[in-house]
Structures are given as C-alpha cells and as structure tokens.
Amino acid sequence: MKQLKEDIKSRSFHSVYLLYGEESYLVRQYREELKQAVLDGGDEMNYAYFEGSGVSVSEVQEIAETLPFFQDYRIIIWEGSKLFKSANDFAGYLPGMPETTILVFVEKEVDKRNKLYKYVQKNGLAVEMTAMSTADTKKFIALKLRDNERKIRESTADYFLEQVECSLNNIENELEKLIAYTHGREEITREDVDAICSVQVTGQIFKMLDAAAAGNKREVMQFYHDLLMLKESPMSILYLLTRHFNILLQVKTFSGSPSKQEIAKKIGIPPFSVAKYQAQCRRYTKERLKEMLFLCVNTEYKFKQGRLSDQIGVEMLLVDLIM
C-alpha cells in the first residue's frame, strides 16, 4: 500500500498492478486514484476498461500495444478477469508490453500460486486491500466527519462500529445518514446512532448472548423477537448463532496470538471486532462454547428431520443457552 501511494504521488509507475482483497472501498478508491494519476488531468482517450472473464485477451493486448495520444501513458483497467485463479499464458505477454502502457487488474480473489500472480508480485505491484485496523477505521470516520464539520467522541465511534455492518462502503453510507440527520449541530451522539443507523444483526446477537450469559431470559427473548421484526427468519437467526459461537470458540483458541490483527486475519473478522469477541469469550469456558455450538447444530438437525418447527426449535435453544 505504501509503494502504491508513492507511485501515485510521484507518477513513477509499474507496468502492471494487481489490486485485490476484501475491502472493496479501498480497492475502488486506489483504482480511481491510480487512473487519475496516470491520465494526469487528460481526457479518457488513453483509458480502456474491461470487465469479466469473457473479455477477449487479444483485444486487451491490441489496445495495450497502441501508443498513447499526446500523453505519457495509456492505462487499461480489467476487473474480474479471473486470470489469477486459472492457468493461462498472459504472464508471457507482459515482458514485451510497451513501457507506455499501464495495466491494472482488479480482482476479488487470487491464487498466490498462480503464474500471473507471481509475475506481478515480482515485476509489478500486487496490493491486497484488507480490512483496516480499529485505529485506522476511526481515523477514516473522524476525517469524513471533519470534512463535513461534524465531530464524534471516541466512545461514540466505538459504539457506532459495534452497531453497523463493518465494510467501509457501509460505514461511509451510515456516516452520510448521520451527517444529514444532524444538520445544524456539530457533535454526533450515541442517540443519533440509535435513531438513524441501520442496526447490524451481529450487534443484536452480541447483546442477546450477553443477556443469556447474565441469565436474563426476558431480554434474550426480546432480542430474538426484535430480530424477527427485522425480517430475520428463525433459521437465519440459528445460522447467525452457530456462526457466532464458532467465532467465539476460535477466538478463545487463538487467545495466545500476539495481535488482534493476526486473530482477525485467521478467523476472517474485522480487526476492530476482535476485542468485543474476546470480552464475550471471558464469560464462557471453552467447554461451554463447544456445548452451545453442539446445541445449535443439534437444533438444525432436529428441524431438518421434521421433529420440531424452526421457530419453536430456536426458542427452545435460546432457553438452553441461558446460564
């Protein structure tokens, strides 16, 4: 990422780039910044865009061979080529591509054993856009709000991140809603978040299990019915509970890992959510987490056998989960 920023700033480009990873907001942002840096204020005469795996490779190569008009470089962006997930000979073409052509691949997933990936890694620049750390996400929030003459306390930012779906795309959308909602005043409060933001279902599951650990049956059932009101089906809630217990068990297992970033990467959760999972883990032993995960799986098994309905099955499960 640091090298990519330097390339954009200095306009000293590699011939081929690969932008990929789970954080689509960052992928899109740097794709556009790279495009603008290459075009350097010029029009799009020297820009070509392709999408999908059905694109003719020969057509891409033909455009790549065309020298730029009245500019230093020509840029080609190819999204979703899937060349980094399959065997192909495209890497053999790249050494002979004109130095005036900049080729940018944008992919969701790559196979790092792939021949083309290895070529880009060695001769170009492959940049994985992963979920940002908690600190960087908070900086993103603060900058977005500052640009719109808003402020937020750190404790409120923490609460905001607990409530909303964690991708930067969604965070930006929710911030836009908060900015519009708080027109005429500066500080965004916790009450504003409750009033306007789309509640993340995962946040409701956290609250439900906190209530279960505290033995509060009334709150557990209230959260369950709230989820039903959000149009979540009982089987969807069961899936979320199963996933949640699976994550808790993994977090408990990885408790000796040196950093939250490493735990997040191993499990596949946002870095800023690790602390919350760790806090909830402390309320359960490893054996209890295994038991609860078994109860979830057993409930699904009974439902599929036709031995109980989905709603009754989940309600009985929730009663069993209360400590």
pLDDT in tens, 282-302: 888 899 999 999 999 999 888
Q: Read off the tokens for 234.
A: 């009982």
Beta bridge partners of 188: 152
Please say if the pLDDT value at position 226 is more than 90. Answer: no
Taking CA 110 as the corner, what is the angle to CA 258 and CA 273, rounded to the nearest 5 degrees?
35
Question: 202 or 77: which carries more pLDDT confidence?
Answer: 77
158-196 per-position pLDDT tens digit: 888 877 877 788 889 899 999 999 999 999 999 999 888
Q: Is the predicted pLDDT of residue 131 greater than 80, yes or no?
A: no
Beta bridge partners of 104: 17, 77
At position 299, the amino acid (one-letter code) is T
Indicate whether 270 pLDDT > 80.
Answer: no
pLDDT at residue 271 is higher than 80: no
pLDDT tens, residue by residue, 56-90: 999 999 999 999 999 999 999 999 999 999 999 99
Q: What is the pTM of this model?
A: 0.65
CA distance 182 to 180: 6
Closest by Cα among 169, 160, 168, 233 to 203: 160
Residue 198's pLDDT band, with cuts at 50, 70 and 90, is: confident
**Residue 111 and residue 148 in contact, taking contact as beta carbons nearer than 8 Å:** no
CA distance 100 to 114: 26
Pairwise CA distance, residues 32 & 30, whole Å: 5
Amino acid at 94: L
Q: Over range 145-159, report the average pLDDT.
A: 92
Question: Average of pLDDT values for 263-274?
Answer: 80
Crossing angle of helices 274-281 and 260-267, rounded to 10°: 90
Answer whether residue 132 shows pLDDT above 90. Answer: no
pLDDT band (50, 70, 90) for residue 156: very high
As a three-state string, the secondary structure of 3-53 is HHHHHHHHCCCCCEEEEECCCHHHHHHHHHHHHHHHHCCCCHHHEEEEECC
| Contacts (Cβ under 8 Å, ≥6 apart) of 281 | 248, 251, 252, 255, 289
Query: Which backbone phi and psi does 19 adopt, to 5 degrees?
Result: -110, 120
Confidence of residue 258 (pLDDT cuts 50, 70, 90): low
Burial grade of 44 (CB within 10 A; 0-12, 13-18, 19 or more): exposed
Secondary structure (3-state) at 106: strand
**Distance separating alpha carbons of residues 145 and 273, to the nearest angstrom:** 22
Average pLDDT, the chain: 89
Confidence band of 111 (pLDDT split at 50, 70, 90): very high
CA distance 320 to 323: 8
pLDDT for residue 323: 63
